[in-house]
Structure 1
Amino acid sequence: MKDNATSLYIKWILIHIGIGGAVFVLPFLAKLYAILIVLVGFRYVVRTKNHNNEALYVAAYVVGAEVFLRMTEGNFFEQYAKYMVMAILLLGMIYRGTSKNSWIYVIFGFLLLPSAVLSFYTLNFETDIRKAVTFNIVGPITLMVSAIYCYQRKVTFKQVLNIIDMLAYPLMATLVYMFAYTPSIRDVVTSTESNFETSGGFGPNQVATILGLGIFLFFIKIVLQSKNNKILWINAVFFLVVTFRSIVTFSRGGVLTGFVMIIVVVLLLLFYTKSYAKSKISIVVFMGVFALIGVWTYSSVQTGGLIDKRYANEDARGRVKASQLTGREVLIESEINMFLDNPIFGVGVGKNKEYRLETTGVNAASHNEITRMLAEHGLFGLFALLILLFTPMILYLNNKQNIFVLAFLIFWLLTINHAAMRLAAPAFVYALSLLKVSFTDENQNPVSREQTS
């Protein structure tokens, strides 16, 4: 069985390495790949009737593939992945229903409505209202649908690990494409600014976000899913490669988020596991730290020391930059002022960019989902954020077996602070923190469960 599992895993890896290379050589295949994900994914859920939460696996795969599809222009429209995630999870709900207590996230959705309606009256006449509203609202709506699906849904720990696999596979294709797109880092790095060339030609912030998640995913695969030395070494290689490519995007938020997630899970594993498991985890962490020193050194050499200056908040000449947040504090301050000036309903969905331009002369979209929700939704946005923050924490008190709750919640919280909800990843990963996880299959008969406990 172990040999079969190893062979299957290697087969999946080779398929995705092939996808990354094929799309680079024949770019039109990216759209074919996007179509196949949907067709195969929907057929899979329909055929199985979502008996084992197959909808979660398909949604996870779409989330993992989103950045790859965007950088290769495989998306048919900008929010393709978000709509596909919602559609597949809604299909899953049709087959397997939802928790009666998931109404809390229905309330979250209703809290978004007043400002969405307000925007039709506040947005400038020449603005494309549909585009302005959907750009800002589709992320929270994706979170709502994902959360309703996941709320207290019973899954096994093995199924959670399967979800991690499905998130990770498309990242393998992404890495291959990025290496093909920029084989030499040294030749394209000339400053300490975020670098599109090292990010596959796509936004470094979003690439670093998904690769930062990849750092966490492959670390978990090393610790919990490496059944033999062959799999261990494969996962270790991917961990080092994804770490290197995320670092050299020169976008710090995603990288730091990935390592914060790892630290949180390691601490929980050390707290809950038995002594023999603790020693294994400690060895992995020690080797990981040693390997990361090597990755950082290699990254520094490849970038001519510029990556060191980037993380020290210096420019290419070694001068400390005036802004610690690359100017985002200006956006945050303006959004807080919008909230204070319009505390009840906010300025309306999509209006924050226009309002900022009118009041400060700065023409930029929000990078912070927290202050954006306050600015655009007012007190309704504040109540919505409180629901998002406290609900997973309360559920965790009654389900300590979901050891990833805090890590998933941290990914959502840190990501929306530097990359808003441009990607489907923060919405979907947040929802995973709501799953009710058990180490045994609750569909087994009582005698079986007693024997395995």
Structure 2
Amino acid sequence: MTPGLVTSGGRPSPVIIVACYVATLAGHFTLTRIGISVPVLNDVRVLFFSAVLMAFALEIHHAGVFPLHTGPARRTLQPVLILFGYQILSAAWAPRNAVINDVVSDLVAMVVLVIVYTALTEWDQERVIVVTMYSQYVAAWLYFLYSASGHGATAAGRWTAFGGGPNVYVRVMVLGMVAAAYFYFRSGGKFLWLAAAPLFLVGAIASGSRGGLVAFGGIVLLAGPSLVRFMRRHGAVKPLAAIPMVGGVVWLLFGDQIMFLINNRFLAGTIQQRNTSDRDVLYEKGAGLFLDSPVFGVGVHGFYAITNLGPGEKYVHNLPLAVAAEGGAVGLLLLLVALWALRREYARIPKKQRSLPSRAAAYSGIFILGASFFSGDYYDHRLMWIFFLLAAVGSPISSGIQPRRNASTALTRR
């Protein structure tokens, strides 16, 4: 718990943290996918977020805390909100044929998510991260079991789950591996936690997401030295020898599917046919729009409205380039400032004092950041902002959240 925080309600309820995660993971899910069409309420986020906001308001009222009160929370959240606000404002100069309602609703949803997550993290960073890790570990199992049972695969054999695409699926799998590693080290080396990692790795490969796997390789390289030192210090190297046995069992179950996908998706498609899934075209178009409107960009959804590349190519699939194309140099600068503020706040924590939960959140955020260079729209990167805020807010150096005192509390203390 953050130093200096003593509330009548104790720690935040895990229920609201899980509710926030479910609302976050739900993504763009709409009732039309199951054959129901209800105006406004068709976007399930309206229901999810309304419930989360009401529960959050009751929670902080019961605890008697002033949310977003500390320096770290303000210093990290404000630049992120300014970026989102500018992107919403850019709808004012978007092309007339731009469909801005969906994009603006996505950005408003992200504003709600980052505010609630930041306030909860400021309240009790460790609990929020731990419950979030539990949630994504369970989510990874649900996604893996759904796809491994033969559901959700695309025509090309790429694994998906619950209506999301392969690029969403790979993120859930990799975050599941991060959660598995986190609980493995947190438990002092209980192999049961780590045994799930090979399954999630199979799911990540079976997604066929090249960008997601590249981003995963990036965090493995970044975290590798620290993980080796941690394992040596805690005598956790020997249990890792059991992973090949688990991997062998997994290979017997899914080896044929994986080899088929590797041969067709990675070797034949990427190396021989040089298939980039039109990323080169998207990046060229995005860069062209930035050069045409270098200061303020073409406005949100302007990329799709101007390029008209088809329903499957509504965005650039590269976060910095998308911000540059639709927000210009101003938007790109605000993006860099927001990321810099998060990095600066995290760097204020001495390396020896960085907790395991904070490190796990940071690596999760870095993974989503890496994946953002290859796929996704603005809303697909919401977990990046959330994990970076989880890592930086409520750190050991922050303090000063003061509960709201009522009259009875004050009299009792006197």
TM-score by length of 1: 0.67
Q: What's the counterpart of residue 266 of structure 2?
A: 311
Q: What's the counterpart of residue 133 of structure 1?
A: 104
Q: What's the counterpart of residue 51 of structure 1?
A: 11
Shift in CA distance, 246/369, structure 1 to aligned 2, threshold 3 Å: same
Q: Distance in 2 between matches of 1:227 and 1:285?
A: 9
Match of 1:109 among 60, 81, 94: 81
Residue 413 of structure 1: how far off its partner (Å): 0.9
Q: What's the counterpart of residue 6 of structure 1?
A: none
Q: Distance in 2 between matches of 1:216 and 1:140?
A: 23
Match of 1:215 among 165, 170, 177: 177
Q: What's the counterpart of residue 257 of structure 1?
A: 215
Match of 2:334 among 346, 359, 384: 384
Unpaired runs of at least 5, structure 2: 1-7, 402-414
Match of 1:124 among 76, 79, 96: 96
Q: What's the counterpart of residue 129 of structure 2?
A: 160
Correspondence list, 1:307-346, <5 A = 307-312=262-267, 314-315=268-269, 320-323=272-275, 325-346=276-297
Match of 2:320 among 354, 365, 370: 370
Shift in CA distance, 133/356, structure 1 to aligned 2, threshold 3 Å: farther
Q: What's the counterpart of residue 21 of structure 2?
A: 60
CA-based RMSD: 4.3
Does residue 409 in structure 1 map to residue 365 in structure 2? yes
| Farther-moved stretch of structure 1 (348-357 vs 386-395) | 386-395
Residue 405 of structure 1: how far off its partner (Å): 5.2
Counterpart amino acid of 2:186? L
CA offsets 1:339-374 (integer angstroms, 9 cap, x no match): 22212211111111112228x999532322221111
Q: What's the counterpart of residue 377 of structure 2?
A: 420
Q: Distance in 2 between matches of 1:414 and 1:430?
A: 13
Does residue 98 in structure 1 map to residue 55 in structure 2? no
Confirm or deny: 8 A CA contact 1:82 1:138 kept in the other structure: no
Q: Secondary structure at the match of 2:372?
A: helix
Confirm or deny: 8 A CA contact 2:211 2:371 kept in the other structure: yes
CA offsets 1:273-294 (integer angstroms, 9 cap, x no match): 48541x31x3355544675577
Residue 99 of structure 1: how far off its partner (Å): 3.4
Counterpart amino acid of 2:131? N
Q: Secondary structure at the match of 2:272?
A: coil
Confirm or deny: 8 A CA contact 2:368 2:384 kept in the other structure: yes
Q: Distance in 2 between matches of 1:166 and 1:241?
A: 17
Counterpart amino acid of 2:176? G
Residue 120 of structure 1: how far off its partner (Å): 3.6
Q: Distance in 2 between matches of 1:217 and 1:379?
A: 36
Residue 242 of structure 1: how far off its partner (Å): 2.4
Counterpart amino acid of 2:21? A
TM-score by length of 2: 0.72
Does residue 394 in structure 1 map to residue 351 in structure 2? no
Q: Distance in 2 between matches of 1:64 and 1:361?
A: 23
Counterpart amino acid of 2:369? L
Q: Secondary structure at the match of 1:268?
A: helix
Shift in CA distance, 106/308, structure 1 to aligned 2, threshold 3 Å: same
Residue 132 of structure 1: how far off its partner (Å): 4.3
Does residue 176 in structure 1 map to residue 176 in structure 2? no
Q: What's the counterpart of residue 302 of structure 1?
A: 257
Q: Distance in 2 between matches of 1:171 and 1:291?
A: 18
Confirm or deny: 8 A CA contact 1:339 1:375 kept in the other structure: yes
Residue 268 of structure 1: how far off its partner (Å): 2.3
Q: Distance in 2 between matches of 1:243 and 1:70?
A: 31
Residue 227 of structure 1: how far off its partner (Å): 7.1
Give the % identical residues.
Answer: 15
Shift in CA distance, 274/132, structure 1 to aligned 2, threshold 3 Å: closer
Unpaired runs of at least 5, structure 1: 1-47, 444-453
Q: Distance in 2 between matches of 1:340 and 1:361?
A: 24
Q: Secondary structure at the match of 2:299?
A: coil
Does residue 77 in structure 1 map to residue 77 in structure 2? no
Provide the aligned length of Structure 1 versus Structure 2.
Answer: 374
Residue 106 of structure 1: how far off its partner (Å): 2.6
Relative contact order (C-alpha < 8 Å, sep 6+): which is higher?
A: 2
Q: Distance in 1 between matches of 2:103 and 2:378?
A: 14
Shift in CA distance, 216/404, structure 1 to aligned 2, threshold 3 Å: closer
Shift in CA distance, 212/416, structure 1 to aligned 2, threshold 3 Å: same
Counterpart amino acid of 1:330? V
